[in-house]
Structure 1
Amino acid sequence: MKKYKSVIFLVFAMILWVNSYGQRGGNYEKIKSLKVAYITEKLSLTADEAEKFWPIYNSFEKNMHRLKREDLGKVRNRFKEQNFADISDKEAKEVLDEINNIERQMFELKQSLNNDLLRVISPKKVILLKKVEEDFNRDLLRKFRERRKQQFKERRN
């Protein structure tokens, strides 16, 4: 019965997401709440596991987001602002070193997540988390594409 309630909740959350995805503002929070429900359901987290899992995972997500958006974003902005035909080898090496440093930090963050999660969930669930994240992202992208395709068709008519 508990499993059916979880599935019903997940389906309900997905329906709400599909209906509200096109609205501006708050999409990040909506997607995040769907991801929480999706991961909790797919990993079959107990209440005790979820209580310990989510602070670790949320901290990881926050730090990874910072590295991707802020740190790598700065490097990408430099690419946009400069004409790289005129860049020196020394400057190119500095950019590569910056990228390598950020990617190293991301790798270390992932290792830390795995080690921290092993203290609260089984190794099998840690591995399954990787697949569940990929599945969620794939489904999200597919729904986003379908929505954009539908909006494009509506505009043409």
Structure 2
Amino acid sequence: MKMKPLFLLLLVLITMGATAQGSDAKRDKIKALKTSLLTTKLELTSTEAEKFWPVYNAFEEKQYDIRHKKMHSLIDKLKDGSAEKMNEKEAAVFLSQLQSAEDDLYQNRKKLVTNLKNIISPIKIIKLKKAEEDFNRTLLKEYRGKKE
């Protein structure tokens, strides 16, 4: 496993966790902004939207649960410096837990794409991926701007 993708994943998760921890109101605001952006970018018909949003919202909730239940304790270990104090056995267990959580995130994403193939076109699925990346990049830039 390459360290750069792992580092980037952890950075995004830490950032998203810190952003979402403020309150449910912040999470709701971010969700509303994301919904608005996706609606605009995907140009969903009313029939597509009716089927798309329940599937996408279930995906988002599952991602949130994985990130905040499985990844939270792992991220805390990295923040408090215990990673430097781990022995080989503890590091192997930690790595296994991390890989399991990453696999859960990947499998959830894979399930989303499979489910969406019956609802929207492949082009719209690709547009969804691009819109999500753009949104996350913008959110990260805004978060970084507020920290400075």
Offset of 1:137 from its aligned partner? Answer: 2.1
Gaps of 5+ in 1: 1-23, 153-157
Question: C-alpha separation between the residues in 2 aligned to 1:144 and 1:73?
Answer: 19
Rate the CA distance shift 1:133–1:82 in 2: closer, same or farther, 3 A: closer
What's the offset of the Cα at 1:37? 1.3
Unaligned stretches of 5+ in structure 2?
1-21
Contact 2:42/2:128 (<8 A) preserved: yes
CA distance in 2, matches of 1:81, 1:143: 25
Between the two proteins, the alignment pairs up a number of residues equal to 126
For residues 84 and 134 of structure 1, do their structure 2 counterparts lie closer, same or farther at Cα, with a shift above 3 Å needed?
closer
CA distance in 1, matches of 2:130, 2:137: 10
Which residue does 1:44 correspond to in 2?
Answer: 43
Q: Normalized against structure 2, the TM-score is what? A: 0.75
2:93 aligned residue: 94
- Aligned AA (1:131): K
Superposition deviation, residue 83 in structure 1: 3.7
**1:128 positional shift:** 0.9
How well do the aligned residues superpose, as a CA RMSD in angstroms?
2.1
Q: In percent, how many aligned pairs have the same letter?
A: 37
1:125 aligns with 2:111: no
**Alignment of structure 1 residues 74-89 onto 2, 5 Å:** 74-80=73-79, 83-89=82-88
Structure 1 residue 79: Cα displacement: 3.7
Shift of the 131–83 alpha-carbon distance from structure 1 to 2, 3 Å rule, reads closer
Computing the radius of gyration from Cα coordinates, the structure with the larger value is: 1
Residue 29 in structure 1 maps to residue 28 in structure 2 = yes
